Structure 1
Amino acid sequence: MKLIESIDIDNGSYQRLTNFLKSKTGLNFQYYNKSFIEKRIKSRMIRVYCNTLDEYYSYLSSNTEEIKNFVDGFTINYTFFFRDYDVFETVQDIFLQGLGVNKKQIKSNIRPTAAKLAKFRSKSNAAKKFIKNKKLYSRPEKYYVDVFIFLNRLSFYKKIKLLPSEKNCINIWSCPCATGEEPYSINMIMNNLKSQVRRFPKIRIVGSDISYGAIEKAKIGVYADDSMKEISDYYENKYFTKQKTHYGHINLINEQLKKGIEFVREDVTEGHSKPYKYDIIFCRYLLIYFNHKNRDKFLKILEDRLKENGILILGKTETLFDSWGSLRLIDSRNRIYIKSQSKLF
């Protein structure tokens, strides 16, 4: 069998293949770095025992199932619940302040223990990770967080205290949502708060992804242990049921949480099929795969979908520096941007 590094892809065959796939799937290949696309193509070629790109083209042309497999293999589905949990703590704290509720008054523990984090790392890294997290836990909460300076400007902050209604609904979009771990993490926080406070706003959560397989898995809500590596014991025990199988056990998500999310199969680079404007957009671990020119086109889609004074959460791997268009940085650690036509200061 060929090694992935030994497969040669010439420009003509590459263009022919991507044009064919675009005609069948609508996938916008020009958005992505070419090296990223080539790696995905080579991976599928090895999987189906094709030695040349022409062979793979012929295989695709006569095998509609492989087209679906390519799309599922093309997308980035590596994720887990509460990935980079600082982001979720920040969102929870915004809602708590809006509700006028002291954090000590509610049951909620988003941070997993350092021991649990170490359990999922290799032995060589476990000790270092454990020490690192012990240091992190000793820091004051909000050590890196700037967003709280701007609370009164946020589009949804005043809605948090209002009676739940369609007019006051807070819209949240997870894009791309992969296999659902991110939107479910958001919904766990919202559901947990709602169960403990007297008045809680109406929340609408939408999750989008191009992968058929990812969206179907998200709707089913069954997860392996790899997805549980950064979920706290509190949320794991409250929202999951473990079930034994012949291969070990699986984690079934609470049925009520499924009802709170609308999953959509779509290519977000072509736009968004839902009519909503959003108060919060999560778009993490995607822009790093785009080339610079088309990254800006996609950011325009996100910017247009944000309400004025809504927030875009990019996470630690992305940066637009201090601003991009009307998006202005308000949290330097979690890369949270507010949409504001006017200057912040």
Structure 2
Amino acid sequence: MTNLFPGKGFSNRIKITQNEFMQLRDIIYELSGIYLQDNRKFLIENRFAPRISELELNSYTEYIDYLRNHIKGKTEELNMLTELITTNETSFFRDNPQLKVFRNFTLKNFIDAGNKSGRREIKIWSAGCSSGEEPYTLAIILHEMLKKEISKWRIRITANDISDNVLKMAQKGIYTKYSLRTTPENIISKYFTDKGNDVFQINPDVKRLVSFGKINLNLDRDLKRIPKSHIIFCRNVIIYFDKKMKKKVLEGFCNNLLDVGHLYVGHSEALHTVTDKFKPKQHTGTITYHKI
């Protein structure tokens, strides 16, 4: 649920040449897997010029040299690069038609099967979790579905993002009223503590179901350390990758999913042109994907 660029202006930005843009784009792609289209050049100027000034550099060429020639700096700068090229627009219970299918189809089937077999276990991976609204929403839905029976289940929601800053926010579990703008009032009163001044804290019984950690979807070693999942949510993330990177990430998802697993992606992220490893299932309001 991480989107590229908020589009804020910067009046005295340092200009970037086409050659510098292409070099910087290649570095960003190498480090994060995010591919910047040609029309992002202006936005690169908007976002990176203050950082270049902060480093007391005079041009994008100097910044590129800094990334390439200072290995320690390059590693530390990845966090800053991520913050500069992404912004996080999300909320609790976002895209309710999709969540309704998750609740009434996917989750119901897993709960029914678990009760029948006695293997009461659900493992969910929120890949690109941003500041935590998505995985916490899934945890709330699990509480709503299982109610007092939830103590009989082994539930693990693994939530990952590439940004350290949003992960710190997610781990705190403290949100403004704006993050709850798409959340029913009865859910807010039941699962959040009103701290005053339009600040709300997620309740501990929801928080304990979710574990947060940093991940770079471009790194095989990061993907391999994620526990096998019954369900993967990766919404509005792969839209920012080129076809090669999409294929790589989806291959990782396929390897991670258990045979009965379900994959949820954003509405504009069709998979049929990228991979043949998933079969779509049409529902009212959304599509779910299943391993073939």
TM exceeds 0.5?
yes
The structure with the largest alpha-carbon Rg is 1
By how many angstroms is 1:258 displaced?
1.5
Letter in 1 for 2:122: I
Are 2:204 and 1:255 aligned? Answer: yes
User: Secondary structure of the equivalent of 2:198?
Assistant: strand
Query: CA–CA distance in 1 between the matches of 2:113 and 2:180?
Result: 33
Query: CA–CA distance in 2 between the matches of 1:301 and 1:183?
Result: 20
By how many angstroms is 1:292 displaced?
1.8
TM-score, normalising length from structure 2? Answer: 0.79
Superposition map of 1:1-345 within 5 A: 2=11, 7-12=15-20, 14-15=22-23, 19=27, 27-29=31-33, 31-35=34-38, 38=41, 41-48=44-51, 50=53, 52-54=59-61, 56-57=63-64, 67-94=78-105, 97-98=108-109, 158-163=113-118, 168-197=120-149, 201-244=153-196, 248-271=197-220, 272-321=223-272, 324-331=275-282, 333-340=285-292
Deviations 1:313-340 (A, max 9, x none): 1131211249932200112542211112
Larger proportion of strand: 2
Give the 4+ runs in structure 1 shifted more than 6 A.
58-65
Q: Relative to structure 1, is the Cα distance of residues 241 and 52 closer, same or farther in structure 2, using a 3 angstrom cutoff?
A: same
- Unpaired segments ≥5 residues, structure 1: 99-153, 341-345
RMSD value, Cα:
3.3
Query: CA–CA distance in 2 between the matches of 1:275 and 1:160?
Result: 25
Query: CA–CA distance in 1 between the matches of 2:102 and 2:268?
Result: 18
Query: CA–CA distance in 1 between the matches of 2:115 and 2:42?
Result: 45
Query: CA–CA distance in 2 between the matches of 1:286 and 1:335?
Result: 16
Deviations 1:60-79 (A, max 9, x none): 76798765333223334211
TM-score, normalising length from structure 1? Answer: 0.68
Q: Relative to structure 1, is the Cα distance of residues 64 and 159 closer, same or farther in structure 2, using a 3 angstrom cutoff?
A: closer
Contact 2:246–2:274 (Cα < 8 Å) also in 1: no
User: Secondary structure of the equivalent of 1:42?
Assistant: helix
Query: CA–CA distance in 2 between the matches of 1:237 and 1:329?
Result: 36
- Unpaired segments ≥5 residues, structure 2: 1-9
Query: CA–CA distance in 2 between the matches of 1:65 and 1:216?
Result: 17
Query: CA–CA distance in 2 between the matches of 1:182 and 1:88?
Result: 10
Query: CA–CA distance in 2 between the matches of 1:80 and 1:261?
Result: 17
